[in-house]
Copies of this chain bind each other. A is one copy, B any other.
């Protein structure tokens, strides 16, 4: 599924900009660069599959990737999105388990693949790197906990509003106030944890209430405070 197998120029991989790697010595850094493989992926291609063993992890230098689990009847549950600057897939390396999620490209992406051994070595030998990586993991864990509480306690309506606000926070708006991430109705349903039809109905209600405007898959945000209110967001 990869567009090509030819490793890209290392310079394309902006790893050095990530806070995670700021504590590396120049030796460690050179080695990291040597072992890193730059790749391009088209929409729809899969970086790794749930249940597979993976031997490395990815730094995302461009694009958007959805991380999902497959539930009952093969229905996908989107756990989160990863974008420029995020790293994904390291969980399995460290916990030494097979991948518990699938990572699939939503917006054409550029990634740097880094072998798992490199990661393990860095964790073992560079304390500050360890701390930094631990912080990333722990923040993810905190977000997962919030997500659990939301799904368990909020209505579909609240959750959908909340997700739109969250997408706004994570991906921002373009010059026309349109969300910088485009999802199918089904994908939206798979984040919220509901049926596609429910998303469609609620979206058009939000539109009637002048909170958003719809144009195909593009969602224009008109009234963020109202969305926050509907979503019961207080932070």
A→B interface (CB under 8 Å): 69, 71-72, 75, 77, 79, 91-92, 94-97, 100-101, 120, 123-125, 127-128, 130-131, 133-135, 137-142, 144-154, 192-193, 232
A91 in contact with B142 (CB, 8 Å): yes
Residues of B with C-beta under 8 A to A72: 153-154, 232
Q: Please report the C-alpha to C-alpha distance between residue A97 and residue B146 in the assembled complex, in whole angstroms.
A: 14
| Identity of the chain B residue whose Cβ is nearest the Cβ of A155 in the assembled complex | B72
Known: A72-B232, A124-B131, A141-B141. A148 touches B96 (CB 8 A): no
Q: Chain B nearest CB: distance from A171 CB in Å?
A: 20
B134 in contact with A137 (CB, 8 Å): yes
A144 in contact with B148 (CB, 8 Å): yes
Known: A69-B145, A137-B137, A137-B138. 5 other contacts (CB 8 A): A79-B149, A120-B131, A123-B131, A144-B147, A148-B151
A127 interface neighbour in B97, B124, B232, Cβ under 8 Å? B124
A148 in contact with B77 (CB, 8 Å): yes
Known: A125-B127, A141-B144. A152 touches B151 (CB 8 A): yes
Task: Report how many copies the assembly holds.
Answer: 2
Task: Classify the secondary structure of A's interface with B.
Answer: helix
A138 interface neighbour in B95, B125, B145, B151, Cβ under 8 Å? B95
| Identity of the chain B residue whose Cβ is nearest the Cβ of A69 in the assembled complex | B149
Known: A120-B131, A128-B124, A131-B120. A71 touches B137 (CB 8 A): no
A153 in contact with B77 (CB, 8 Å): yes
Residues of B with C-beta under 8 A to A232: 72
Residues of B with C-beta under 8 A to A101: 145
Could you say which of A133, A144, A154 has the most chain B C-beta atoms within 10 Å of its C-beta? A144
Q: Chain B nearest CB: distance from A27 CB in Å?
A: 17
